């Protein structure tokens, strides 16, 4: 048995960052990980491998358009995706990043405990057959793919009915993929497989794609999916039954676009759910509310000296959120153990959201609907990428930026982008909200030319109906 100042259970982007921060602040720190390699779901089964697939799909599409850029000699008809090669590249990226995390653990003198970490209460953590003492504990056990409880027929089998883990390991391109769920996971996989050559049907129960995004963004994404990628988009529709056959899956649909459709496989992408099974929370005073752990602004649970972060708490299920929460928890733990540090509470109204479909989506702050519901006198301004020189240079002119502002104070409340490099451009939106900038300040901010960033002041001008380039 060993004693530590801090034990972190889980080595995902929240857990390993928390362990590093704790060690930096002088705590004797350990991290427990049940998987054979460090990195958690984000690295091994989520963010990173999914984006590797998306990058391949993007480059495949670009190669097919090479003649438009003056590149001759490529036989477009001969181009084909090599899925085993995609998987090998994805695996190399994962291995490199996992090794990087291992290096960071050694560099910061963090002890790695191999095995499933279980809370025993009273500051004790069991890892395999060993029990360790900790003054502080951070629980960061992540999430797993969700399955609708009212439809057991959607339980994944890895062959005809898939979850996102299975989709990342597909060695053969399906002729027709049916995707249930048009949140970030669903639209990203729709982008991947439609661009690689599969027929894709996308089914969403809500009234728009990306239901958490601004309505204008969801509507624009649907248009691009239908027109450019030939995706069969069915919103306000649900799957009521699934029949698995030897060579296909047959789905019955109800709603706005009902019917019976069959495909090679059904990908269930209805989100993720917290993973706390076996973590030992029943041995503590921590409170579970609808599957998530209750915490305060410093990520403390009701159990003394126990913190919870990431996908197991009721905050956005995003890697960068988990990382910030890990820093907050580690700093608070270190402060209580005597370190000279002042943890900051996270402002969840300024969390950037990124969806890596084609076109990309990036957003931060309130949607127009949310701002109206909160009582603001809302003014909005939108500007398309179409007239922007850099968008034409790179050949990606779809989409727009939308600014949501308060008419009374002219303060910018939200920034919503759909289009090329939206997941990179949204960082400027984060800075705009963090600085509490006004529409006038954004108008008077100079952006370089030619860049995609030029959409920002134009969208601000559009709030007053005087954009310069359209």
- Hey, which residues are catalytic here? 449
CA within 13 Å, CB half, 51: 13
Q: How far apart are CA 147 and CA 151, in angstroms?
A: 8
Q: How far apart are CA 119 and CA 281, in angstroms?
A: 6
3-state helix, strand, coil in the chain (%, to 5): 35, 25, 40
- Give CA angle at 107 (40, 5), nearest 5°: 75
Q: Residue 359, preceding bond cis, omega within 30 degrees?
A: yes
Q: Which residue has the tokens 């953590």?
A: 125
Q: How far apart are CA 226 and CA 104, in angstroms?
A: 45
CA within 13 Å, CB half, 286: 32
Token pair for residue 450?
Answer: 């030619």
Selection from 319, 232, 309 nearest residue 47 by Cα: 319
Q: How far apart are CA 332 and CA 298, in angstroms?
A: 7
Q: Are 233 and 222 in contact (CB under 8 A)?
A: yes
Q: Are strands 400-406 and 292-293 parallel, antiparallel or unpaired?
A: unpaired
Q: Are 197 and 77 in contact (CB under 8 A)?
A: no
């Amino acid at each position: 048995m060993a004693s530590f100042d801090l034990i972190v259970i889980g080595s995902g982007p929240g857990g390993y960052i928390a362990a590093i921060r704790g060690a930096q602040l002088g705590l004797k720190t350990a991290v427990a990980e049940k998987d054979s390699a460090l990195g958690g779901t984000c690295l091994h089964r989520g963010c990173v491998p999914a984006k590797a697939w998306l990058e391949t799909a993007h480059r495949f599409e670009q190669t097919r358009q090479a003649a438009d850029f003056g590149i001759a000699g490529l036989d477009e008809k001969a181009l084909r995706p090599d899925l085993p090669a995609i998987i090998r590249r994805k695996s190399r990226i994962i291995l490199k990043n996992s090794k990087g995390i291992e290096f960071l653990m050694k560099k910061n003198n963090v002890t790695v405990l191999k095995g499933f970490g279980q809370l025993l209460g009273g500051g004790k953590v069991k890892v395999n057959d060993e029990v360790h003492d900790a003054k502080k504990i951070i629980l960061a056990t992540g999430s797993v793919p969700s399955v609708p409880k009212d439809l057991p027929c959607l339980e994944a089998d890895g062959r005809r009915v898939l979850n996102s883990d299975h989709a990342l390991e597909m060695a053969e391109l399906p002729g027709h993929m049916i995707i249930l769920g048009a949140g970030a996971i669903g639209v990203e996989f729709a982008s991947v497989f439609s661009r690689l050559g599969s027929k894709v049907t996308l089914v969403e129960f809500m009234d728009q794609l990306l239901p958490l995004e601004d309505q204008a963004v969801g509507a624009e994404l649907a248009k691009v999916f239908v027109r450019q990628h030939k995706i069969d988009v069915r919103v306000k529709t649900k799957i009521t039954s699934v029949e698995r056959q030897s060579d296909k899956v047959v789905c019955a649909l109800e709603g706005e676009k009902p019917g019976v459709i069959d495909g090679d496989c059904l990908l269930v992408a209805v989100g993720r759910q917290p993973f706390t099974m076996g973590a030992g929370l029943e041995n503590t005073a921590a409170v579970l509310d609808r599957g998530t752990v209750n915490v305060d602004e410093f990520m403390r649970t009701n159990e003394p000296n126990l913190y919870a972060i990431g996908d197991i708490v009721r905050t956005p299920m995003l890697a960068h959120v988990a990382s910030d929460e890990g820093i907050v928890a580690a700093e608070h733990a270190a402060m209580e153990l005597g370190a000279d540090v002042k943890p900051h509470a996270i402002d969840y109204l300024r969390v950037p959201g990124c969806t890596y479909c084609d076109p990309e989506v990036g957003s931060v702050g309130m949607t127009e609907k949310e701002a109206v519901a909160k009582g603001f006198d809302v003014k909005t301004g939108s500007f398309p990428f179409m007239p922007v020189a850099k968008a034409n240079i790179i050949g990606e002119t779809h989409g727009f930026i939308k600014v949501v502002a308060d008419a009374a104070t002219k303060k910018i409340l939200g920034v919503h982008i759909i289009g090329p490099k939206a997941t990179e451009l949204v960082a400027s939106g984060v800075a705009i909200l963090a600085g509490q900038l006004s529409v006038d300040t954004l108008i008077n901010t100079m952006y370089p030319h030619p860049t995609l960033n030029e959409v920002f002041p134009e969208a601000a001008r559009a709030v007053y109906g005087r954009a310069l380039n359209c």
